[in-house]
Chain A
Amino acid sequence: MRYVVGRVLSAIPVLLGVAIIVFLILRLIPGDPATLILQGTEITPDRLAQVRAQFGLDQPLPAQFVVFIGNIVRGDFGYSYLTSSPVSSELAQRIPSSLGLASGALIVALAVGIPAGILAGVRPNSFIDRVMTGVSVLGIAIPYFWLALLLISVFAVNLRWFPALGVNGINALVLPSIALGLGYAAIITRLLRSSLITIYQQPYILVARAKGLSESRILFRHALRNGISSSITMIGLQIGNMLAGAVAIEVVFGRPGIGYYLVDSVNKRDIPAIQAIVLLIAVLYVVINIIVDILQGILDPKVRKDW
């Protein structure tokens, strides 16, 4: 329990830092933020002053930051410069679609990566290991956005098994999840393989064999339990990249998720929307890493001692 509390508390400075950077996005942009807000409309000194007062831009920076944090905590990300609707409601509409994609990709990564890693790691240098290793090397190298195109071409256009575009139903989730998840499956395969090979050379596996345990019991009870922990850390570290990689996947498959929204907002320089999305992904990433660390503490008691 002390471990859990310690890990959660250690994230607070990082989260505060993330908030400061997101806050600074608007301030770092060259030029006057008020001019940016009024982009596309007629700019008069009166309106500039009005906008500055309305958005609190006439206040000193620390005061602005306090207001900014207060708003975030209340779930208020401000209003989109372009549509004038609250960013939070725009986000709420798009989160389910992105969450679906991220979970789909995670399932693909684990469902493909773990069995492949076991198959390769149990018998190193066998034929099946060579195939798995070769495929995973290629799987890591193929850019996911090109893989997405290839999948569309084969499975959507030629075979017509899955739809190429849209968000309707579970079928529409299959291709994007594979496109995003396969690279991570390859990473898991390689990691799990190498940790299994190391573990199988440990004395305790020899002991387990000497006791007469079956190979499957050795694998699942002794080897895998240790071997999987580095893969879990890697997935935790990679989930942030997966969320960001979803940007291109959402664009290719025309899924209106937060990634698509981010690209749109960067193109149109819709700062409140950019701030909200960046904050959301970064905070999610930090939270997931805490969960991963706690999970590791459960799997491996040695980890807990560091705290």
Chain B
Amino acid sequence: MTQGTLITAPVLPSVRRPARRERSFVLRHLGALVLVAASVAIVVVVAAAPLIAHFSPIDVVGPARTAPNGTYWFGTDNLGRDVFSRTLFGGQQTLAIAAISIAVATFIGVLIGVVAGYFSGAGSMTLMRLMDVLLAFPTMLLALVVIAVAGSNAQTLTIAVAIAYIPTFARVVFGSTRRIRSEDYILAARVVGCSTLRILYNHVLRSLFVEIIILASSALGWAVLLAAGLSFLGFGVTPPDPEWGASLSAGTAYINNAFWMSAAPGVAITLVILITNLAGDRIAAWWQRTGR
């Protein structure tokens, strides 16, 4: 169990291609630019939901189960609420839960990993043994345990997702810190009399920066999936508040006569995971190409 339960995308080996004429910047970086544009678009659209959506996400605004049309872009749900508006506002919930929990998991996981990796001793051993034990629980199970203990609402859901990913971050960062601890430049820093805190921050953390970004970027996608999955099961966000997983779950019963109810949040989740995965892959490939 070296990597934890996170699905880190494999770095694709480069395959030699026939040499091509030098292309313009835009063409060479088309994939990356599309990814950046798509992520910015999603964040802006979701953040600006109150400006973009014509209808309230919670009030009944039309006849129930209206198919998508000019007025109700994504149709209406079983109660007559606007699906477009619920998808945008639902994104605020889902993305906020995922982003906050990954920020927390990154912070705590990196802290544990760097400290336990840099110092050797009984404390480090105990800490990493605890992480190993937590890694024995699949992320979803760990999150469910937290919800079982702490109760079910949006806050506990965020904490649950964060706790589910802390061991993964701690494990990966621990391994890398152990690897670079004995590098010459760390020794050199110690010789010239840098304080431990300065070494940890300036030398260890900064050389791990890209690695952490790659991990966090794919973890963000999995956190969206986990958060939406838990809400799908009825944990977390309380109705009538919109949330992608909860909306998908509500659409289950109407899959045959109002497919748009589940399709809108389904496509939204798929898009976010797609973007975070591809972004993680690209950063990893770039990192491998340029050499660390």
Contact = CB atoms under 8 A, between A and B. Distances in A.
B273 interface: yes
A243 B266 contact: no
A13 B233 CA distance: 32
Given A146-B262, A194-B12, A245-B140, A237 B1 contact: yes
Interface of A: 13-15, 17-18, 20-21, 25, 28-29, 124-125, 137-138, 140-143, 145-146, 149-150, 152-153, 157, 187, 190-191, 194-195, 197-198, 201, 230, 237-238, 240-241, 243-245, 247-248, 251-252, 262-263, 265-267, 269, 271, 274, 278, 281-282, 285-286, 289
17 contacts: A15-B136, A29-B148, A124-B15, A141-B274, A143-B225, A143-B229, A194-B11, A194-B13, A201-B13, A237-B3, A240-B5, A244-B138, A244-B144, A247-B233, A263-B233, A265-B148, A281-B137
A266 B259 contact: no
Interface of B: 1, 3-5, 7, 9-13, 15, 17, 129-130, 132-134, 136-141, 144-145, 147-149, 152, 221, 225, 228-229, 232-235, 245, 248, 251-252, 255-256, 259, 262, 265-266, 269-271, 273-274, 277-278
B279 to A, nearest CB: 12
A266 B136 contact: no
Contacts of A146: 248, 262, 265-266, 269-270
B140 A137 contact: no
Q: Is the interface of A mostly helix, strand, loop or mixed?
A: helix
A276 to B, nearest CB: 12
A125 B12 CA distance: 12
A248 B136 contact: no
B233 A17 contact: no
| Closest A-B pairs by Cβ, 8 of them | A17-B133, A244-B140, A146-B266, A240-B138, A244-B138, A141-B274, A141-B273, A266-B148
Given A25-B148, A152-B255, A14 B132 contact: yes
A72 B271 CA distance: 44
Contacts of A17: 129-130, 132-133, 136
Contacts of A269: 148
